[in-house]
Chain A
Amino acid sequence: MGAEFVALSLPPMLIGTLSAMACALPGNFLLLRRQALISDAISHVVLPGIVVAFLLTGVVATWPMMLGAGGAALIAVLLIEVIRRLGGIEPGAAMGVVFTTMFAGGVLLLELSDTSSVHLDVQHALYGNLESLIWLEAAGWGSLTDPKALQGVPSELPRMAVVLVGMATLTALLWRPLKLSTFDEGFAQTLGLPVRGIGLLLVAMSAIAAVAAFDAVGSIIVIAMFICPPAAARLMTNRLERQVWWSMGFAALSALLGYVLAGYGPIWLGGTHAVSAAGMIATFSGVLLALAAVFGPCRTKG
């Protein structure tokens, strides 16, 4: 059990957990700013970015794809601003127009181009490839301290760890400006805080989390984790500090339990095939939100 678990289940579980937490962290602030839809938009526009990066370079490699995705996110944010200003449309509608159009464009591009030789398709974009992130070099728990075996760890694991640590450090350093400008932007401005810069930074942080997690876990988890854990956490407490901790717990719980349920749940029920881990993790985060909405201690307003 040990060796198999460390090689096959531990890496995807850890990567799923790190991704979920990295997305949920900025999600807390997006939610309170009524900008939760931005995460949805970013995770959709990542697809055309990745396809274009693949068409330009011809390889499925991490860095070109991350750059492509980041570029697409940037273009989307600019387009949303332009449409909002020129068309005088409310931000939600502008976002909806931009991200559906860009996502659809990505799907068309994907179909028109010959990507059949590589593992790049719509399904991959939605579900990610969590189950395939295995660690072949692992021979058991002892491999965790074996430098040679550790070199074979899926690159998504250190990448997501770095992203999460960076995200947490930034949030801790900028806690007060983030909280102040989220609660009362006008007041924050009178203190001389660069509220526009803080808002942009938050979107940039969200984009980095979404792009980094997208490749590993797919857009379903990304979208779910930006919104469900923070929304459930808000129902558990009336203090922002605690809300963030609750959201981290909910994100980790969704990822771990979702993965286990996807792998073993169907077998326990007499089935023979595991179901998509990404789908189960996202569903489980939704179930947690539903439970918090029914039983959470801070459900009622005021």
Chain B
Amino acid sequence: MMLDATQAIDPEPVDLADSPLALRGLTVAYGDSPAIEAVDATFQPGQMTAIIGPNGAGKSTLLKSALGIVRPVSGRVTCWGRPLSRQRYRIAYVPQRASVDWDFPTRVLDVVLMGLYRQLGLLGRVRARHRDAAMACLSRVGMEGFATRQIGQLSGGQQQRVFLARALAQGADLYLLDEPLAGVDAATEKAIIDVLKSLKSEGRSIVAVHHDLSTVSTYFERVLLLNRHQIAEGPVLTTFTNANLHITYGGRLAATLPGAGS
């Protein structure tokens, strides 16, 4: 995708009502120590945005506060210009794999069916069409052969793909993923990226916490650099620079990156 000069200088041409997720002055603290401070970000619709930053930079916290899982000290979250509570049905969340107990007594298909909770409601019966929809999501991530397995019997990469399938079942417009590629095998990484790109081509928006700096410019078109404060946000081409990376990672980033701009 080509970026013109005006977009590079002003990375925020998007209208608030069009932005699937906009944060204004978002501050979150655990106890006395702030996890993120005064973050302003306007995510672009129909784009794949990576959130990067060192450990403890508040990347997961940013996602969780955007989703209302963690209550911010101050600041505001809007989705498509409206409060989060009115737009929840348009948002899917893929938590970190380590955040759940994979020994939980449930099968792969049941986990994907959790993504249909809004359709099923409290007591709605799971019918063939729900099962078919869940199976279709499993096929999309290449896991259709594992539907009846207990989730603990899967490899890490397979578990991550099941989580993605559950998010697909939600049929959302915005996908928020927390480290979807952490500790997964190469096949899973490719499968996940393929699915995310196809979501993008359908006009959906993707925001993912990402840890592997070497793949940022191949997978994403926008990047948000975070170290408690927002360092920079914009197109990968102009924002993912060595200068910005050094501010974000401080002295912890030894070498300059091949993928990063100068």
Contact = CB atoms under 8 A, between A and B. Distances in A.
Interface of A: 32, 173-174, 176-177, 179-180, 182-184, 186-187, 189-192, 234, 237-240, 242-243, 298, 301-302
B101 A176 contact: no
Contact of B101 (A179, A183, A189, A242): A183
B105 A237 contact: yes
Q: By CB atoms of chain A within 10 A, which of B88, B110, B114, B120 has the most?
A: B114
B127 interface: no
A3 B205 CA distance: 73
B122 interface: yes
Interface in B101-116: 101-107, 110-111, 114
Contacts of A177: 122
24 contacts: A173-B122, A174-B122, A176-B117, A177-B122, A180-B117, A183-B100, A183-B111, A184-B100, A186-B64, A186-B99, A187-B95, A189-B67, A189-B69, A190-B67, A190-B68, A190-B93, A191-B117, A191-B118, A234-B105, A238-B107, A239-B106, A242-B105, A302-B102, A302-B152
Contact of A187 (B93, B105, B110): B93
Q: How large is the interface on B (under 10, 10 to 19, 20 to 34, 35 or more residues)?
A: 20 to 34
Contacts of A237: 105
Contacts of A301: 103, 152
A190 B89 CA distance: 9
A186 B102 CA distance: 15
Contacts of A182: 104
Contacts of A298: 105, 150
A174 to B, nearest CB: 7
B104 A192 contact: no
B262 interface: no
Nearest to B120: A176
B114 A187 contact: yes
Nearest to B114: A180
A179 B104 CA distance: 10
B2 interface: no
Interface string B143-180: 00000001011000000000000100000000000000
